[in-house]
């Protein structure tokens, strides 16, 4: 294993030395490991070609870190060092539940501490079916709690809803929207699992403009809502979920409580 790594390293080094913008053919024949060589060649060429006098021509690479994704649980890596505790202190009297045409959106104050950093809850909303899937499987509903830090960083806490007993907090949201009211939502914590184990990865907003570098914390444990509540939400929205996106080079991490 070690030997292979070393020879690959040497190989890359040779390729980088040998191949630049003015690549020469005899040098590239030096190896029979074609794949590794091609990779190194591409890297070498790219870095050689950065032209600082023509910065408008630089290619902007985006779109490789999109959300949602399918969470393949057996591929999740344990976070190390694992200090990823989430503490949530969302407001108790949330008002302003509104149907924004895409989803029910609730504006609120409230704070959270995610992995040692401070965030403010800016809004939360719901999708049906769930946007993230776990080993290919959708849940009926997924809530997104959008948290923003002072420097503008966005961290979204995703919570799956599964069919079970009625959820008081979710009913307050549905009642507000159905009756066009702004009654306080007092049971917000019903919509967040008490166990804060999660999957974490870097992704994007799931609605345009699809900004990347959004931190995702998808709770492992779902909360329950009744089948009547699922139907009620689906009357307002069905299929307001974006399709899962390719993982590409990203890792999915996990934190267990
Ligand atoms: Zn969302």
Ligand 1 geometric centre to CA of 216 (Å): 11
Count how many Cα atoms sit within 13 Å of the Cα of residue 160 in the half-sphere of its side chain.
Answer: 23
Q: What is the pLDDT of residues 204-235, one digit of tens each?
A: 999 999 999 999 999 999 999 999 999 999 99
pTM equals 0.77
Ligand 1 geometric centre to CA of 160 (Å): 12
Lowest average pLDDT, out of 42-56, 85-99, 140-154, goes to 42-56
Structure tokens at 108: 């609120």
Burial of 111 (0-12, 13-18, 19+ CB in 10 A): middle
Averaged pLDDT score across all residues of the chain? 81
Ligand 1 geometric centre to CA of 36 (Å): 40
Q: Has 102 been annotated as catalytic?
A: yes
Ligand 1 geometric centre to CA of 126 (Å): 6
CB 184 within 8 A of CB 196: no
Give the separation between CA 130 and CA 12, rounded to whole angstroms. Answer: 43
CB 164 within 8 A of CB 153: no
pLDDT value, residue 23: 37
Q: What does the chain look like in DSSP terms, one character per residue?
A: -HHHHHHHHHHHHHHHHH-STT--HHHHTT-S-HHHHHHHHHHHHHHHT--TT-GGGPPPP-SSS-S--EE-GGGPEEPSS----EEEEE-SSB--EEE-SSSEEEE--EEEEETTEEEEEEEEEEESS-SSEETTB--SEEEEEEEE-TTS-EEEEEEEEEESS--HHHHHHHHHHHTT----B--GGGGS-SS--EEEEEEE-SSTT--EEEEEEEESS-EEE-HHHHHHHHHH-SS--PPP---TT---EEE--
183 pLDDT more than 80: no
7 pLDDT more than 60: no
Ligand 1 geometric centre to CA of 130 (Å): 9
18 pLDDT more than 50: no
Given pLDDT bands bounded at 50, 70 and 90, which one contains residue 21? very low
Ligand 1 geometric centre to CA of 123 (Å): 10
pLDDT value, residue 93: 63
Q: Per the residue annotation, which of 43, 49, 102, 144 is the catalytic one?
A: 102
User: Hey, what CATH class is 2-45+66-255 in?
Assistant: alpha beta
Q: Give residue limits of the domains in the chain.
A: 2-45+66-255
Give the separation between CA 243 and CA 235, rounded to whole angstroms. Answer: 20
Ligand 1 geometric centre to CA of 84 (Å): 22
pLDDT value, residue 33: 42
Cis (ω within 30 of 0) for the bond into 81? Answer: yes
11 pLDDT more than 60: no
Ligand 1 geometric centre to CA of 158 (Å): 8
Which range among 99-108, 146-155, 232-241 has the greatest average pLDDT?
Answer: 146-155
Count how many Cα atoms sit within 13 Å of the Cα of residue 189 in the half-sphere of its side chain.
Answer: 10
């Amino acid at each position: 294993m070690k030997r292979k790594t070393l020879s690959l390293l040497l190989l890359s080094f040779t390729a980088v030395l040998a191949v630049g913008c003015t690549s020469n053919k005899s040098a590239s024949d030096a190896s029979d490991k074609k794949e590794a060589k091609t990779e190194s060649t591409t890297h070498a060429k790219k870095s050689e070609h950065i032209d600082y006098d023509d910065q408008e021509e630089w290619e902007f690479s985006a779109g490789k870190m999109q959300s949602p994704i399918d969470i393949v649980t057996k591929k999740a890596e344990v976070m190390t060092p694992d200090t990823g505790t989430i503490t949530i202190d969302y407001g108790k009297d949330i008002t302003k539940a509104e149907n924004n045409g895409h989803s029910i959106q609730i504006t609120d104050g409230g704070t959270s501490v995610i992995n040692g950093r401070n965030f403010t809850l800016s809004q939360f909303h719901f999708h049906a079916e769930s946007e993230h899937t776990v080993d290919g499987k959708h849940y009926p509903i997924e809530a997104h709690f959008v948290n923003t830090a002072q420097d503008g960083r966005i961290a979204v806490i995703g919570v799956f809803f599964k069919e079970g007993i009625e959820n008081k907090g979710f009913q307050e949201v549905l009642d507000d929207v159905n009756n066009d009211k702004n009654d306080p939502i007092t049971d917000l914590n019903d919509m967040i699992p008490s166990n804060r184990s999660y999957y974490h990865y870097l992704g994007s907003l799931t609605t345009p403009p699809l900004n990347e570098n959004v931190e995702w914390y998808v709770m492992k444990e779902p909360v329950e809502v009744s089948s009547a509540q699922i139907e009620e939400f689906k009357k307002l929205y069905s299929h307001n979920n974006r399709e899962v996106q390719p993982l590409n080079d990203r890792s999915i991490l996990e934190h267990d409580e």
